[in-house]
Amino acid sequence: MSLAVNTAASDIALEDDSARGVSFARNVVAPLVNRAVRNGDRAASGILDAAMNSPLRDGALVRVKVWSQDGHVVWSDAARLHGERFVLEPEEAALFGTDAVLATFSDLSKAENAQEQAFDELLEVYAAARDSDGVPILVESYWNTDRIVRDEVVISIRTVPLALGLLTLFLLTLAPLALSLARRLDKAQTDRVALLQHALAASDTERRRISRELHDGVIQDLTSLGYVLPAVRKQLPDAAGPEKEVLRSLDERLRTDIASLRGIITDLYPVSLAREGLAAAVEQLAAPARTRGIEVLVEVQPGLQAVSREALQLAYQVIREGLRNVVKHARASSVRIVAVRDGGDVVVTVDDDGLRGPEAAPGDGHLGLRLLEDCVTEIGGSFSVGASGLGGTRLAARFPAMFVWSWAR
């Protein structure tokens, strides 16, 4: 606003002073300039001095110079400039013999302006004219810029209330729309959080259901079959060697499959998490990785039990997803799992020494990692996948230690 007012005031001052400078040059100065003045006659110059005395006293007009076409100062109210020669700027020299005018804010650093350097800023008007002998001359007049300040005040008084009124009207018009958009955004964010929470709850419920069905159904049946096969093998005669070997192989395979299913159940719904704590549940998670020859180091802070049930479950999910990706993609030989409490947050990291690649990024097809990232960030935490100090990949999550899912929405 201030810049606009200053620009407007400057434009008005330039326009007004241009008109005043032209009128002053052609109606007051030019008729008094003749050959005698051009030749430096003191009596003729004295007439100009007397005529200029009154305009210069009112304070608006600061300095007057009359130029000849060769760059000499024919006359000036500063007598020491009489007869001095300076190099005119090309746009100034081009005015001779025309009816044009040039108005600018003066560059007081130029040599010709040595007498005006006491002023901070002046309006400089070059007006082309012809003297009483018809010789082209250039009348340069300098005008005080105090008018700009006065014009700024006047323009501000007239425009600021209007601008403030328009701004107030604009804000009053936009306020209902902004409030409506803010409410919609808040509702959308709330709905998104609720959907995420329901998705996690549904996932947890589904994991429990599958675990129960596997435990009470398939595993029980396979366990029963595991008791039957050795009994059948004993009933076969000694001559049935190949048949006994087949039954023995089936029994071993059956036991292996039962162990794998029990591992899946532990992965789906770790009963030990609630009963024995996070450390025991993570040790169960680490068992399959260790059977593959991967060294798994588990560091769970003992005081981590003093967190909410949801925080404990989320820490377990982060570790499970990180360890699963290490086994599937990293080709690692060792993994370090750390879960600690840092002030009011739980911090979980899974570091490996395997290969790093695009498959480690949450956004590249890993639904589990993306869901975890959404979950952690929605509760005000942070989630990242990056370089590990072990040389491979680090999965890191930080989230509040006492958060609780709220379903009443």
pLDDT one-digit tens code per residue, 270-309? 666 767 888 988 998 898 889 889 999 999 998 787 888 8
Q: How far apart are CA 146 and CA 148, in angstroms?
A: 5
Is residue 186 domain-resident?
Answer: no
Is residue 102 domain-resident?
Answer: yes
Among the three residues 144, 177, 195, which one is the final residue of a domain in this structure? Answer: 144
Is residue 361 domain-resident?
Answer: yes
Give the pair of three-digit tokens for residue 71: 């760059």
Which domain does 88 fall in, by range?
A: 2-144
Q: What is the CATH number of the domain that holds 139?
A: 3.30.450.20
DSSP-derived pairing of the beta strands 334-342 and 295-300? parallel
Give the pair of three-digit tokens for residue 169: 């009207």
Q: pLDDT band for position 152 (50/70/90)?
A: low
Is residue 84 domain-resident?
Answer: yes
* pLDDT, position 33: 87
Among the three residues 123, 144, 165, which one is the final residue of a domain in this structure? Answer: 144
Higher per-residue pLDDT: 115 or 343 = 343
Using only C-alpha atoms, what is the Rg of the chain?
47
Q: How far apart are CA 306 and CA 63, in angstroms?
A: 86
Q: What is the mean pLDDT of residues 116-124?
A: 66
Q: How far is CA 81 from CA 111, 191, 271, 380, in A?
A: 11, 82, 103, 76
In 3D space, the residue among 294, 281, 288 whose CA is nearest the CA of residue 335 turns out to be 294
* pLDDT, position 10: 59
Helices 367-378 + 146-213 axis angle, to 10: 120
* pLDDT, position 409: 34
Question: Chain-wide mean pLDDT for the chain?
Answer: 79
pLDDT one-digit tens code per residue, 2-30? 545 455 555 665 676 677 778 887 888 88
Could you give phi then psi for residue 297, rounded to 5 degrees?
Answer: -105, 125
Sheet containing 61-67: which strands, arranged edge to edge?
73-76, 61-67, 136-144, 122-130, 101-105
pLDDT one-digit tens code per residue, 39-91? 888 888 888 888 777 666 566 777 888 989 888 888 888 888 888 888 888 88
Of 42-46, 118-122, 192-196, 302-306, where does mean pLDDT reach its minimum? 118-122
Among the three residues 102, 126, 144, which one is the final residue of a domain in this structure? Answer: 144
Q: What is the DSSP string of 136-163?
A: EEEEEEEEETHHHHHHHHHHHHHHHHHH
Instruction: Count the domains in the chain.
Output: 2
* pLDDT, position 253: 85
Give every CB contact of residue 74 below 8 A, 6+ residues apart in sequence. Answer: 33, 37, 38, 66, 67, 68, 82, 137
Q: How far is CA 382 from CA 6, 125, 186, 376, 379, in A?
A: 49, 66, 21, 6, 9
Is residue 216 domain-resident?
Answer: no
Is residue 383 domain-resident?
Answer: yes
Highest mean pLDDT among 3-7, 56-60, 205-209, 405-409: 205-209
pLDDT one-digit tens code per residue, 299-342? 999 878 788 888 888 899 899 999 988 988 888 999 999 999 99
Could you give phi then psi for residue 287, rounded to 5 degrees?
Answer: -55, -50
Is residue 172 domain-resident?
Answer: no
> Taking the complete model, does pTM exceed 0.75, yes or no?
no
Amino acid at 255: R
DSSP E strands, 284-392: 295-300, 334-342, 345-352, 382-387
pLDDT at 254 over 80: yes
Of 140-154, 289-303, 345-359, 374-388, where does mean pLDDT reach its minimum? 140-154
Q: How far apart are CA 69 and CA 85, in angstroms?
A: 11
* pLDDT, position 328: 86
Give the pair of three-digit tokens for residue 17: 């002073």
Highest mean pLDDT among 202-206, 263-267, 300-304, 385-389: 385-389
Q: What is the CATH number of the domain that holds 303?
A: 3.30.565.10
Is residue 32 domain-resident?
Answer: yes
Q: How far apart are CA 321 and CA 341, in angstroms?
A: 20
Among all chains, which residue has been given the structure tokens 């746009």?
91
Q: Three-class SS of residue 67? A: strand
